[in-house]
């Protein structure tokens, strides 16, 4: 028998999971996901050493509950004797109140449900997984870990919109997201470089979803994401920053309703909309089409622009960090973002960047530039252990 921690990250059509052996530091046992839930579900999983534990479709039908049953069956078969002492859940929205992970009971669940209107595409799925895990593991602690929590201590000017004050009071705020990633990466930066880790840093989380976060002495000072995960940088299919006047135009002149606008802004915009080719950075980098080039140019232009804005918020910069799918893997994007930042002390070592080294800045550059692989599951597992 071993005490284990299960982490779950449930999206609209997927559940990512990881199994850790509990201990002073969680030790990864397996990682995987069910994708294509509801349409063409497929369970994939690998052990910590990379060995394939599962990679097979199962018959469509059933939703997140069925997916969780499949995950549990796999764990029981691959790790006989494993006992799940706590389940850590990624929950996108902790609203104004939750600034740290919390053990979920009926009252907390009810509170988290009231935040669904703030994140309609994510929160309901996150909470469905919590309910399914409560039924599947009635004796385990269920722990919610929030993407918003890391930002809760940010200064008021970074937390509000210039709307009448009552809107802030009712929860219309700049929450910021990707907080589990910022938590991991900022701590990793402090471990690798204690001096700069205590200083002024900007972390660039560039994945299918993308945002930046300014950090000083480990504290969040501002982020590019706002009330929802739509704001800030352009993303795979999300628009990023947009003049709200465009939305008024779409409603009044084009007769688009909330659903149509939501589909446009969340699903048809960003890299996909700009290129008309793909939402995937790899595909755009491989394409010769001018539209693909322009989409990448827009992306890197916005990242650079937001770095400038957040560096001004911090009053300077000691470290710049790239993370997530694009940030960790695309030397081209990193080079384009940093190309004209010499004025603020950013200069890359081209070879180190091309090789994806841990430090990619030139030796004499005042700002040290890091590539740090994020690990949101580990942050969730560490939090869940505390409640096990
Ligand atoms: P998610 O938000 O779904 O977790 P990821 O962090 O996995 O997203 O990032 C996905 C993005 O990373 C995609 O746009 C993908 O094209 C990009 N990406 C992954 N590997 C590379 C690579 N080698 N070069 C360029 N882009 C990459």
Residue 24: which pLDDT band, with cuts at 50, 70 and 90? confident
Whether the per-residue pLDDT at 245 is higher than 60: the answer is: yes
CA of 330 to the centre of ligand 1 (A): 8
pLDDT at res. 65 = 85
pLDDT reading at 371 higher than 60 = yes
CA-nearest residue, atom 22 of ligand 1: 329
120 three-state secondary structure: coil
Mean of pLDDT values over 179-183: 97
The percent of residues above 90 in pLDDT, for the chain, comes to 87
| 62-118 residue pLDDT tens | 788 889 899 999 998 999 888 999 999 999 999 998 999 999 999 999 999 999 988
CA-based R_g, the chain, Å: 21
Q: Is 336 exposed, middle or buried (0-12, 13-18, 19+ CB in 10 A)?
A: middle
Distance, in Å, from the CA atom of 33 to the CA atom of 54, rounded to the nearest integer, reads 10
List Cα–Cα distances, 221 to 49, 200, 301, in angstroms. Answer: 38, 10, 22
Picking from 30-44, 173-187, 268-282, which range would have the lowest pLDDT averaged per residue? 30-44
- pTM value is 0.94
- Sign, CA torsion 339/342/344/348: positive
What does the pLDDT look like over 109-146, one tens digit per residue? 999 999 998 888 789 999 999 998 998 889 999 999 99
Q: Which residue has the tokens 């935040």?
A: 115
Percent of the chain scoring above 70 in pLDDT: 99
The answer, yes or no, to whether residue 1 has pLDDT greater than 70, is no
Ordered structural domains, the chain, with CATH: 2-146 (3.30.420.40), 193-371 (3.30.420.40)
Q: Is the pLDDT of residue 376 over 80?
A: yes
Q: Name the more confident of 182 and 128.
A: 182
How far does residue 217's CA lie from ligand 1's centre (Å)?
A: 29
Q: Of all atoms in ligand 1, which is nearest to the CA of residue 209?
A: 2
> 15, 122, 282, 286: which to mutate for ligand 1, most atoms within 8 A of CB?
282
């Amino acid at each position: 028998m071993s005490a284990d921690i299960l982490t779950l990250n449930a999206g609209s059509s997927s559940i990512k999971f990881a199994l850790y052996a509990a201990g002073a530091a969680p030790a990864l046992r397996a990682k995987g996901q069910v994708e294509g839930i509801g349409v063409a579900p497929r369970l994939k999983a690998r052990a910590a050493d990379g060995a394939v534990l599962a990679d097979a479709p199962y018959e469509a039908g059933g939703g997140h509950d069925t997916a969780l049953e499949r995950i549990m069956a796999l764990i029981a078969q691959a790790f006989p004797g494993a006992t799940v002492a706590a389940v850590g859940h990624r929950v996108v929205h902790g609203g104004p109140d939750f600034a740290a992970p919390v053990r979920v009971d009926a009252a907390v669940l009810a509170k988290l449900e009231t935040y669904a209107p703030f994140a309609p595409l994510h929160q309901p799925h996150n909470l469905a997984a919590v309910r399914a895990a409560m039924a599947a593991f009635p004796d385990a602690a269920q722990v919610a870990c929030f993407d918003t929590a890391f930002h809760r201590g940010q200064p008021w000017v970074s937390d509000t919109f210039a709307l009448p004050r009552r809107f802030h009071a009712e929860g219309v705020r700049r929450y910021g997201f990707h907080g589990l990633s910022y938590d991991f990466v900022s701590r990793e930066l402090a471990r690798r470089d204690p001096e700069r880790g205590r200083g002024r840093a900007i972390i660039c989380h560039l994945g299918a979803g993308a945002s930046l976060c300014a950090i000083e002495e480990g504290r969040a000072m501002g982020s590019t994401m706002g009330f929802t995960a739509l704001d800030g940088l352009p993303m795979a299919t999300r628009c990023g920053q947009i003049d709200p006047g465009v939305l008024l135009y779409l409603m009044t002149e084009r007769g688009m309703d909330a659903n149509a606008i939501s589909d446009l802004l969340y699903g048809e915009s960003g890299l996909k909309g700009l290129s008309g080719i793909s939402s995937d950075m790899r595909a755009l980098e491989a394409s010769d089409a001018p539209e693909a080039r322009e989409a990448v140019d827009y992306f890197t232009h916005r990242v650079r622009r937001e770095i400038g804005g957040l560096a001004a918020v911090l009053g300077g910069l000691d470290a710049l960090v790239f993370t997530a799918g694009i940030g960790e893997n695309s030397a081209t994007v990193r080079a384009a973002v940093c190309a004209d930042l010499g004025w603020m002390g950013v200069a890359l070592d081209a070879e180190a960047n091309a090789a994806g080294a841990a430090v990619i800045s030139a030796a004499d550059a005042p700002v040290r530039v890091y590539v740090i692989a994020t690990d949101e599951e580990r942050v969730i597992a560490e939090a869940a252990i505390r409640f096990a």
